[in-house]
Amino acid sequence: MSDDRWKKRFRAARVSLPGWAREAPQRAVFRSNASGTWEIYTWDRDTGEQRKATDRPNGTIAGALDPYGRELWWFADTDGDEFGVWMKQPFEGGEATPATSLEPSYPAGLALGRSGRVLVGRSGAHGSSVHLVDPGAEPVTLYAHAENAYLGGMSRDEDLIAIGHSEHGDSRHPALRVLRPDGSLVADLWDGPGKGVGPSGFSPVPGDARLLVDHERRGKEELLLWNPLTGEERELVFDLPGEVGASWFPDGASLLVSHGYEARDELFRYDLASGELIRIDTPRGCIGGATARPDGTVEFAFTCAAEPPVIRSTTGAVVLTPPGEPAPGSVPVEDAWVEGPGGRIHALVSKPEGEGPFPTVFDVHGGPTAQDVDAFNPNTAAWVDHGFAVVQVNYRGSTGYGSAWRDALEEKVGLIELEDVKAVRDWAVETGLADPSRLVLAGGSWGGYLTLLGIGTQPGDWSAAVAAVPVADYVAAYEDEMEALQAFDRSLFGGSPAEVPDKYRESSPITYVEAVEAPVLILAGENDPRCPIRQINNYLDALAKLGKPHEVYRYDAGHGSLVIEERLKQVEAEIGFALRSLNMS
């Protein structure tokens, strides 16, 4: 393939929405791939000085500033395996040192206090735990449980601690607990089986105990304010058709509300005293994060399928511009609604120039608790540049369409989602969009899992397949994956493989490997804690013994790569494989 627009999109520098120090808002932190690898940068907004704070072979993704902007904390794993410790270094630069004496783990939340008090959430073989670290003191364990849990935040006066947990055994629908720094219980909140609640931040006002909480009491993501000291609840009901989330304005008098509906977002300011909901003017597309500044302005990351991401402000200014040439744009996305076995399915379609039917990639999203949205995606644009239409399906199991749609996959994990993918596949063929002899099923993570399951259970429907970091042998995956995902799988299937073996067998791609007809490319990270390498090797061995056409691309990192040139190699391998398999090269 020639070095053309699709490669320029990957190589163009990008930045994330900056976070800022609460007591020193001129000091900020953001992520950028300007060096060729995603790393953490600090930014003094008064002087304009930016500094690349981390420099590691496989990149760095998690970082935060203490409230006064004096120290940068960032998470150090090993070769992308997500297992490691928090490091800290001065904002201005200097040696990075371990931030605590806690043993390595998977991260499960971090809260940095004004007094120097720190809360660290951890998960691993020990289960889940939350630890308090006061200045000059050794860590104290405040919470520990065998089931999945995470740190949800600390109040402004540092006297209340929110924890999301699944002690009831269902990490897909968590409960909420508030503790004191001595570990004593303040209050619990849980809406019962099948209805999760989660913390979204304490009030930024000292002495105000109110906690913003996500809930789904009416069958979709909504909000309430909860005072764990008094038990008072105030449900926030908006006349909006989609799902909502929110964060606080710094004065604690208003909320910044994000409304997601049909793969696009909009922002509102909600005045808590008057109940007035005021729309904030943003373009039509996806808001990839938003934050309210102390002066009342809002900064947000905007993107749509045709336009690369940009960090904007409600002042009209572009907040942060990466160095170098901007990424070339792509085609706008089109909406499709298809009748499926469980209701109307929303799909997003990107088309190359010309008339169909096109060779078509059904790019299945991961998660499964995620969704495809109207956002710029260099992978999608690369397929379109090579003459493919791309169809993205928000199957049952996706977020954004209500709790019942999200949880429907629990009936037949994997197979339910594929019923919806097939319905959209058949629609695309019947309408003349897709060439039935040139259909590629593709995806990463859960999408990679559905890809392998799809070519085994729907072998006549697909011409080729590309599965990145997939679940391939579900029982072996469960045995080797990170403990938080084991808890997720128990929630999804209703137990472990030992407890419900038939469900895992029915939903495992390796069960159907003999039926596979389409050639398949599998991409695998050697250090992946989410979709571990052994279970992928089991599936590859089965393909080889059966003489099934397949290729494998291995790389020395985890569940994906933060290195731009490595991502280019992977996309080139994916598209090259599809072109060869469909006799288009």
Q: Helix or strand or coil: residue 460?
A: helix
The answer to whether 129 touches 100, Cβ cutoff 8 Å, is no
**Would you say the C-alpha torsion 386, 391, 392, 395 has a positive or negative sign?**
negative
CA pair distance 396, 408, nearest whole angstrom? 6
Q: Which two structure tokens, joined as six digits, stand for 557?
A: 């990192």
Q: Quick one: pLDDT at residue 2?
A: 47
Bridge pairing between strands 307-313 and 175-179: unpaired
Q: Helix or strand or coil: residue 511?
A: helix
CA pair distance 231, 235, nearest whole angstrom? 13
pTM assigned to the model:
0.97
Considering only CA atoms, which of 193, 192, 257 is closest in space to residue 224? 257
Helices and strands per DSSP (H, E), number in the chain: 10, 35
- Contacts for 222 with CB less than 8 Å, ≥ 6 apart: 214, 215, 216, 235, 236, 237, 238, 243, 244
Residue by residue, what is the 3-state secondary structure of 2-16?
A: CCCHHHHHHHCCCEC
The answer to whether 102 touches 122, Cβ cutoff 8 Å, is yes
With 0-12 CB in 10 A as exposed, 13-18 as middle and 19+ as buried, what is 97? exposed
Q: Where do the H-state alpha helices sit in 347-467?
A: 378-385, 403-407, 415-430, 446-457
The answer to whether 538 touches 476, Cβ cutoff 8 Å, is yes
CA pair distance 538, 551, nearest whole angstrom? 14
With 0-12 CB in 10 A as exposed, 13-18 as middle and 19+ as buried, what is 135? exposed
Q: Quick one: pLDDT at residue 220?
A: 97
CA pair distance 125, 106, nearest whole angstrom? 10
The answer to whether 176 touches 168, Cβ cutoff 8 Å, is no
Q: Quick one: pLDDT at residue 1?
A: 43
Q: 54 vs 93, 168, 267, 545, CA distance in Å?
A: 10, 39, 32, 44
CA pair distance 570, 288, nearest whole angstrom? 25
CA pair distance 340, 395, nearest whole angstrom? 9
pLDDT tens by residue, the chain, 585 residues: 446 889 999 999 999 999 999 999 999 999 999 999 999 999 999 999 999 999 999 999 999 999 999 999 999 999 999 999 999 999 999 999 999 999 999 999 999 999 999 999 999 999 999 999 999 999 999 999 999 999 999 999 999 999 999 999 999 999 999 999 999 999 999 999 999 999 999 999 999 999 999 999 999 999 999 999 999 999 999 999 999 999 999 999 999 999 999 999 999 999 999 999 999 999 999 999 999 999 999 999 999 999 999 999 999 999 999 888 999 999 999 999 999 999 999 999 999 999 999 999 999 999 999 999 999 999 999 999 999 999 999 999 999 999 999 999 999 999 999 999 999 999 999 999 999 999 999 999 999 999 999 999 999 999 999 999 999 999 999 999 999 999 999 999 999 999 999 999 999 999 999 999 999 999 999 999 999 999 999 999 999 999 999 999 999 999 999 999 999 999 999 999 999 999 998
CA pair distance 481, 368, nearest whole angstrom? 16
Distance of CA 85 to the CA centre of its chain: 21
CA pair distance 306, 334, nearest whole angstrom? 11
Q: Quick one: pLDDT at residue 3?
A: 60
Q: For residue range 232-269, list pLDDT tens digits in order.
A: 999 999 999 999 999 999 999 999 999 999 999 999 99
Backbone angles phi and psi of 374, in degrees to 5: -80, 75
Output Rg (C-alpha) for the chain, integer angstroms. 24
Q: Quick one: pLDDT at residue 381?
A: 97
Q: Quick one: pLDDT at residue 159?
A: 97
Q: Quick one: pLDDT at residue 585?
A: 80
**Would you say the C-alpha torsion 65, 67, 70, 75 has a positive or negative sign?**
negative
Q: For residue range 477-504, list pLDDT tens digits in order.
A: 999 999 999 999 999 999 999 999 999 9
Put residue 343 in one of left, alpha, beta given phi > 0 → left and psi -120 to 50 → alpha: left
Return the number of other C-beta atoms located less than 10 Å from residue 426's C-beta.
Answer: 15
Q: 558 vs 80, 372, 489, 527, 530, CA distance in Å?
A: 4, 23, 20, 4, 8
Per DSSP, what are the bridge partners of residue 360? Answer: 389, 439
Q: Which two structure tokens, joined as six digits, stand for 393?
A: 């399906």
Q: Quick one: pLDDT at residue 109?
A: 98
Q: Which two structure tokens, joined as six digits, stand for 299?
A: 């900064």
Return the number of other C-beta atoms located less than 10 Å from residue 398's C-beta.
Answer: 24
Considering only CA atoms, which of 1, 9, 2 is closest in space to residue 331? 9
Return the number of other C-beta atoms located less than 10 Å from residue 237's C-beta.
Answer: 12
